[in-house]
Amino acid sequence: MAGGKPRLLHSTSFLAGTANLQLCSAEDSVSDREKRAVVFGLANKRSIAWAIARKLQEAGWRLALTYQNERLEQEAKDLITDLPGASGFMCDLGSDEQIARLFEELKNGFGTLDGIVHSVAFAPPDAMKGEFLNTSREAFRIAHDVSVYSLIAVARAAAPLMTEGGGIVTLSYYGAEKVTPHYNVMGVAKAALEASVRYMAEDLGKKKIRVNAISAGPIKTLAFAGIADSRYILKWNELNSPLRRTVTQNEVGNSALFLLSDLGSAVTGECLHVDAGYHVVGMKAEDAPDIAVVPKHEPSA
């Protein structure tokens, strides 16, 4: 994880105006004023964080997007320039100092915040192989620090700027609820993340800040490609979910927009499944064909 001071990537005026997208009736819009959000976890154009950012921007939100380190800087910069009025910052969520510096810059540039998107997770690759029982102490610590504690740290830093309330959304996965092949310690971390959402919903509700999670179905992202047999998992979900398909980044983005907007004003402490209904299935669908496991020597896509 890289250190260093968060740097501004795209300094288009913070006062740049954006059109307000109407998602419902004329008398009940998503937002009656410009709202501001920070999106954590931008990696590339296939990132769920990027899809959420685009949906927020289309709805008239003013955005700051963060990326972890210099390795991701150039691609992040190229993406952010496609969002009029958006700003980019380098911030490693494993560093309390970098988080503090980031929110000081956001305070100076944005003043207040209305939304936080937390799309950050990591576990050492070796911990995603073999048996969960063999998880090392260090791998367990890393997975929970990056995937869970980072949300707590960000929410604590953001709360003073969310003076008019708002929403916080994080990303989870079905492996938090049921044993999922090759997910191992990440499944345990996601379970802790979902529990953290519930506890933070209680703590922050008094400040009119809502905290929710989205349990997204498997999507072809950089992170998902690192899971063994990812193509098999995608195909299995497609054949056995009630909608007989997988989901897209844009569908997750739409759901995040709902949770962050005024349309989700009474929703907090929730884990919203955006998975084509797969989480309700108990057995293989009658009409689903048998499919072979992807050979171990064949790389997953």
DSSP string, 261-291: SGGGTT--S-EEEESTTGGG--S--TTPPP-
Phi/psi of residue 273, each to 5°? -85, 120
- CB pairs under 8 A, 24+ apart, for 77-81? 77/9, 77/10, 79/42, 79/44, 79/45, 79/50, 80/9, 80/10, 80/42, 81/10
Q: Is 173 in the active site?
A: yes
Q: Is 67 in the active site?
A: no
In a structure prediction context, what are the per-residue pLDDT tens digits for the chain, which is 301 residues long? 444 443 333 333 323 333 333 333 333 444 446 899 999 999 889 899 999 999 999 999 999 999 988 888 888 888 998 898 999 999 999 999 999 999 999 999 999 999 999 999 999 999 999 999 999 999 999 999 999 999 999 999 999 999 999 999 999 999 999 999 899 999 999 999 999 999 999 999 999 999 999 999 998 776 766 676 778 888 888 899 999 999 999 999 999 999 999 999 999 999 999 999 999 998 888 888 887 754 444 444 3
* pTM greater than 0.75 (yes/no): yes
The C-alpha atoms of residue 15 and residue 301 are separated, in whole angstroms, by 41
Catalytic residue from among 173, 174, 232, 278: 173
The C-alpha atoms of residue 292 and residue 301 are separated, in whole angstroms, by 16
The C-alpha atoms of residue 290 and residue 300 are separated, in whole angstroms, by 19
Q: Enumerate domains of the chain plus CATH numbers.
A: 36-226+249-280 (3.40.50.720)
The C-alpha atoms of residue 128 and residue 140 are separated, in whole angstroms, by 11
Strands (E), the chain: 36-40, 62-67, 87-90, 115-118, 166-172, 209-216, 271-274
Catalytic residue from among 67, 174, 183, 232: 183
- Do strands 36-40 and 115-118 pair parallel, antiparallel, or not at all (unpaired)? parallel
Closest CA to 175 of 116, 132, 221, 112: 132
The C-alpha atoms of residue 168 and residue 20 are separated, in whole angstroms, by 21
The C-alpha atoms of residue 219 and residue 44 are separated, in whole angstroms, by 14
What Å distances lie between residue 160 and 208, 212, 275, 292, CA to CA?
12, 19, 33, 52
The C-alpha atoms of residue 22 and residue 27 are separated, in whole angstroms, by 10
